[in-house]
Chain A
Amino acid sequence: MALTADDVNQIARLARLSLSENEAESFAGSLNGILDYVQKIDEVDTGGVEPTSRVARLSNVVREDRVEPSLSTEEALSNAPDKSGEYFRVPRVLEINE
């Protein structure tokens, strides 16, 4: 079942990407091509196979609970697109966080 431009827009909405109409059309085409290709993994029998999400054979890498120096507020704000005093500033938020 091929993705339509509408489907692409819906995915883009989840990823917070604005797309032009042309982009949505063209991405629909290329996404379908890529998804067709990757579907070949369906051929592989993966019954009982554990998924690999990391290759490092490491576990329990931890640090001690020690306070280390932070950035200065000035450094922290140095790349801010907009700020107000010691705060980062963003346009109004219409949704409620979790």
Chain B
Amino acid sequence: MPLEDYEIIIGLEVHAELKTESKVFCGCSTKFGAQPNSQVCPVCLGLPGTLPVLNKRALELTILAGLALNCKIAEHTGFDRKQYFYPDLPKGYQISQFDRPICYDGFIEILADDRDGNEVKRVGINRVHLEEESGKSVHSGTGILDSSYSLLDYNRSGIPLIEIVSEPDLRSPQEARRFLEELKRLLEYTGVSDCKMEEGSLRCDANVSLRKRGETRFGVKCEIKNMNSFRAVEAAILHEAERQAELLDAGEQVEPQTRGWDELTGTTVFMRSKESSSDYRYLPDPDLVDLVIDAGMVEALRENLPEMPGQKRRRYVEELKIPEYDAELISGSRNLAEYFESVVAVYNGPAKIVSNWVMGEFLRLINQEKVEIEDAKISPEEFAAVLRLVDNGTISGSVAKGVFEEVFRTGEDPESIVKRQGLAQISDADELSAVVDGIIEANPKAVEDVKSGNHKAIGFLVGQVMKETKGQANPKVVNQLLRDRLGL
């Protein structure tokens, strides 16, 4: 039976590190990439007698995440100890939340798998809870199983982490990927997390099961771990679905397992059986007090919530009249969107022109020079100034590209660049006549074409004049001059 005959049921569990300066229960720095065990203290090492004190910002960011994911926010909540033994877990328990997550019952919207790709699908968010990171193990040898020892770095221990659990609403690997992309966008937008998968600040596990189409009961699920990119999530889920389909086709049972994605072989491999699932022996953490989150606190945070990417996209298309594709791309990054909006705000012309330049020259240079948008030397004012120089005919569009690049690199005022380099557009017919005459003389074939009725060839001649004047000639004036000369 082909995979198409099965429905793939996917639920995701995403862990995201919160963007705080200090750890969730102590004052150690959260900065990535420090020397091993240099950002640790008695609290995050779990030394006897130490006590946790909650980082206020971590709580706020968790609530913000919940709001961005359309969740309800718990009024009364608190922390629990989740007990298990592992070398990178210093206390033998993780401070987490068991039955009272800070956020619950939310959703996000993604594009569903349908033919025209325009149908919006709502994916349920079961819960978002706050917990602490464990330390990091470095295993000797090539993999965990053939190592003779492991080394431990507790710099990561105690970094605030949220766990986001989706409902099993996703139906394809592509949907899962889109869900993650949207989730990442939302978390970045709200400033909740950096979401850097390569640094491990965003991690994802997937629960996958199959059922025959038409069936209403869920099948047996397997959990997949170790997926280090969105592409890996998509590939791993597809592979896992195929594996389960083969088992079911052969009349076998799917065993509840935890499986790991192996990037090299492109397969999921057995890690452990779910039957031996851990007994975490949760209990309320007596070292921490209750959290009472009142409406005032939630509303204050809600007011700080930025406009979400979906809202922006809609506004860009409807109010700013920019193309859907541009709107999607620009709204996808909060930094880019904010930059775009600042340019639009200072520029008096159509937003469409701004989006053309943002999508074109600006992003080309950003990518080429590998600079972050917030570090770009060209200010929104300068950006707009370049566009205005084109609008008022001071420079031509092609000269403008050079000026733009110059401002991008140096941050110099566009007008002074134009002045200093003598780039202003030549609109004076007398000044251009000599050049036009020269071009007519040098291109008899094109001139012949024009005269014999191929009016398109005039574009070629205009281009030649532009080339000759290094782009400074006013193309409208050149066009008129050519027409006059050739008697059109």
Name A's B-contacting residues (CB within 8 A).
14, 16, 53-54, 56, 58-73, 76-77, 79, 84-98
- When distances are taken between beta carbons in the complex, the residues of chain B under 8 Å from A89 are 149-152
By the criterion CB–CB under 8 Å, are A90 and B149 in contact? yes
Q: Which of B54, B89, B151 contacts A87 (CB 8 A)?
A: B151
Within 8 A of A (CB), among B115-139: 134, 137-139
Q: Shortest Cβ distance from A82 into chain B, in angstroms?
A: 8
By the criterion CB–CB under 8 Å, are A65 and B22 in contact? yes
B145-186 vs A, CB cutoff 8 Å, 1 = contact: the mask equals 101111111100000000000000000000000000000000
B173-214 vs A, CB cutoff 8 Å, 1 = contact: the mask equals 000000000000000000000000000000000000000000
- When distances are taken between beta carbons in the complex, the residues of chain B under 8 Å from A69 are 27, 41
Q: Which of A56, A66, A68 contacts B289 (CB 8 A)?
A: A56
Q: Which of B37, B87, B134, B271 contacts A90 (CB 8 A)?
A: B87
Q: List 11 A-B contacts (CB under 8 A).
A: A53-B284, A54-B284, A63-B27, A65-B21, A88-B152, A90-B87, A93-B87, A93-B144, A94-B144, A97-B89, A98-B86
Report the stretch among B56-64, B358-366, B431-439, B477-485 that lies at the interface: B56-64
Q: Shortest Cβ distance from A79 into chain B, in angstroms?
A: 8
| Distance of A61 Cα from B56 Cα, bound (Å) | 9
When C-beta atoms are compared, the residue in chain B nearest to A92 turns out to be: B147
Interface status of B29 (Cβ within 8 A of chain A):
yes
| Distance of A74 Cα from B292 Cα, bound (Å) | 40
Interface status of B380 (Cβ within 8 A of chain A):
no
When C-beta atoms are compared, the residue in chain A nearest to B31 turns out to be: A67
Q: Shortest Cβ distance from A59 into chain B, in angstroms?
A: 5
By the criterion CB–CB under 8 Å, are B286 and A63 in contact? no
Q: Which of A54, A77, A88 contacts B290 (CB 8 A)?
A: A54
| Distance of A73 Cα from B34 Cα, bound (Å) | 11
Interface status of B291 (Cβ within 8 A of chain A):
yes
By the criterion CB–CB under 8 Å, are B58 and A65 in contact? yes
Given A70-B38, A86-B35, A92-B148: A54 in contact with B27 (beta carbons within 8 A) = no
| Distance of A94 Cα from B58 Cα, bound (Å) | 33
| Distance of A66 Cα from B291 Cα, bound (Å) | 20
Q: Shortest Cβ distance from B46 into chain A, in angstroms?
A: 11
Q: Which of B37, B56, B137 contacts A62 (CB 8 A)?
A: B56
Given A76-B40, A93-B147: A68 in contact with B22 (beta carbons within 8 A) = yes
Q: Shortest Cβ distance from B385 into chain A, in angstroms?
A: 39
By the criterion CB–CB under 8 Å, are B38 and A73 in contact? yes
- When distances are taken between beta carbons in the complex, the residues of chain B under 8 Å from A98 are 84, 86, 134
By the criterion CB–CB under 8 Å, are A59 and B292 in contact? yes
Q: Shortest Cβ distance from A14 into chain B, in angstroms?
A: 6
- When distances are taken between beta carbons in the complex, the residues of chain B under 8 Å from A85 are 36, 151
- Assuming A63-B54, A67-B21, A95-B86, what are 18 further A-B pairs, CB within 8 angstroms? A53-B283, A58-B289, A62-B53, A62-B56, A63-B27, A66-B22, A67-B22, A68-B26, A73-B35, A76-B37, A76-B40, A86-B35, A87-B36, A87-B152, A87-B153, A89-B150, A91-B150, A92-B147
- When distances are taken between beta carbons in the complex, the residues of chain A under 8 Å from B21 are 65-67
Given A87-B152, A92-B150: A67 in contact with B29 (beta carbons within 8 A) = yes
By the criterion CB–CB under 8 Å, are A70 and B40 in contact? yes
| Distance of A88 Cα from B59 Cα, bound (Å) | 31
Given A65-B21, A67-B27: A97 in contact with B88 (beta carbons within 8 A) = yes
| Among all A-B residue pairs, the 3 with the closest Cβ atoms | A68-B27, A65-B57, A87-B151
| Distance of A63 Cα from B28 Cα, bound (Å) | 13
Interface status of B394 (Cβ within 8 A of chain A):
no
By the criterion CB–CB under 8 Å, are A59 and B149 in contact? no
Given A65-B58, A68-B27, A97-B86: A86 in contact with B37 (beta carbons within 8 A) = yes
By the criterion CB–CB under 8 Å, are A61 and B284 in contact? no
When C-beta atoms are compared, the residue in chain A nearest to B44 turns out to be: A70
When C-beta atoms are compared, the residue in chain B nearest to A58 turns out to be: B289
| Distance of A58 Cα from B281 Cα, bound (Å) | 25
Q: Shortest Cβ distance from B150 into chain A, in angstroms?
A: 5
- When distances are taken between beta carbons in the complex, the residues of chain A under 8 Å from B45 are 71, 76
- When distances are taken between beta carbons in the complex, the residues of chain B under 8 Å from A93 are 86-87, 137, 139, 144, 147, 150
By the criterion CB–CB under 8 Å, are A96 and B55 in contact? no
When C-beta atoms are compared, the residue in chain B nearest to A64 turns out to be: B56
Given A61-B289, A63-B56: A90 in contact with B145 (beta carbons within 8 A) = no
